[in-house]
A = this chain, B = another copy of it.
Amino acid sequence: MKSWVQIPKNSDFTIYNLPFGIFKNKRLSPRIGMAIGDKIVDLHILHQEGFFSSMHLADDTFLQDSLNGFIALGKPITRKVREVVQQLLLEDNSALKDHRARGKVMVNRKEAVMLMPVKVGDYTDFYSSKEHATNVGTMFRDPENALMPNWKHLPVGYHGRASSIVPSGTPIHRPKGQFKDPDADRPSFGPSKCLDFELEVAFITGKNTKMGERIKTEEAEDSIFGLVLFNDWSARDIQAWEYVPLGPFLGKSFASSVSPWVVTIEALEPFRTGSPSPEEDLLPYLQCEKDHSFDINLEVFIQPKEAKETQVCRSNYKYLYWNIAQQLAHQTVNGCNINVGDMYASGTISGPTEDSFGSMLELAWKGTRPLRLDCGAERSFIEDGDTVKMRGYAEKDDVRVGFGEVCTEVIPSNGKD
């Protein structure tokens, strides 16, 4: 497929992708758009001009500050909208290309501000990378028994804080909190000394269920709208002191950052792939007949203030041991209800090699082997003024489908005490 929109080489936003997001700019109030090359298709204007007239959509379908209502219309509608736009953008299609409103419909991406794509009701963080769980277990517990007995029997997960999930571009404050130095008798208080990123990908649910219902693995993807990059910021020192016995809390709740463009399952279809073979017999509700993973390259960069970025990690989504169908089947097997716009993050996606680890904790191995950045600086964790960028893209046979980036500057803690 080729579009009449000029697509820069290596753009994540090809005609094969067409992700959905919420944007605004100086002129325009928040609305739903689709990214293509360096442009955004303003779906509200497109609708006003009658391009969706056969679909009987409400006038304000796209004039929204979140995708929730649109996603709730269901996949037959959201898929159709994507297909209509894809057709309109094809090289040979002149309906939009030669339309008097083309200039209004095609907005410059550079001039747009991207907002949170969804209002997140509930947010779950899984722990689905075997390599990551093994690395953490090796560092903090027992190298001989790095994985807990439950790990290969269920996708371990926990609930996270939804209020502090912010879109790419939102600076985050270094969190303060309690931590206990290994040789101290008592905890102390101050800005975290071990601020870390976690390279994750999150899926967004597209249906509501009732309490008592469950979603089976084979139905799960019908309930998943799309995926975003997810930086699960972590304060390792706060987390280490607080997390026994009830899990991570303030070490995580200060912020998580997401990429603003939701890449649909449909766009990822060409990159579908299997997951690692289960190493234990799975209970029936976690068994899958089909592939539910995707071959997505993932990258992390650190950019200190006034320096160039250095790539510190190259990983891949396909390394995950537990897939999205298993995660959603597990989440709902107890009858927990889900809602449109919920976010389910993968957990840190580490690969088998040392340069594929998805956190500073692992890359610098608990501070024992600091990374040297291209500018000469060393990092064991993230410093104030650093910007962390995560990028993700799938590529195959000249088809590229990418996520853009989630890019976050760390700023100092607020206040004196």
Contact = CB atoms under 8 A, between A and B. Distances in A.
Interface residues of A, number: 70
A211 interface: yes
- A interface secondary structure, majority: loop
B414 A213 contact: yes
Given A153-B178, A186-B153, A336 B164 contact: yes
Nearest to A175: B334
Most B CB within 10 A of own CB, among A243, A280, A338: A243
B166 A242 contact: no
B335 A121 contact: no
A161 interface: yes
Given A158-B249, A214-B415, A246-B247, A254 B163 contact: no
Task: Specify how many copies of this chain sit in the oligomer.
Answer: 2
A120 to B, nearest CB: 9
A238 B156 CA distance: 12
Contacts of A414: 212-214, 335
Interface string A246-283: 11111101110000000000000000000000001101
B122 A187 contact: no
Minimum-distance CB pairs A-B, first 4: A247-B247, A175-B334, A173-B212, A159-B159
Interface of A: 121-122, 124, 127, 141, 148-150, 153-154, 156-164, 166, 172-173, 175-178, 180, 186-189, 211-214, 235, 238, 241-251, 253-255, 280-281, 283-285, 330-331, 333-339, 342, 413-415, 417
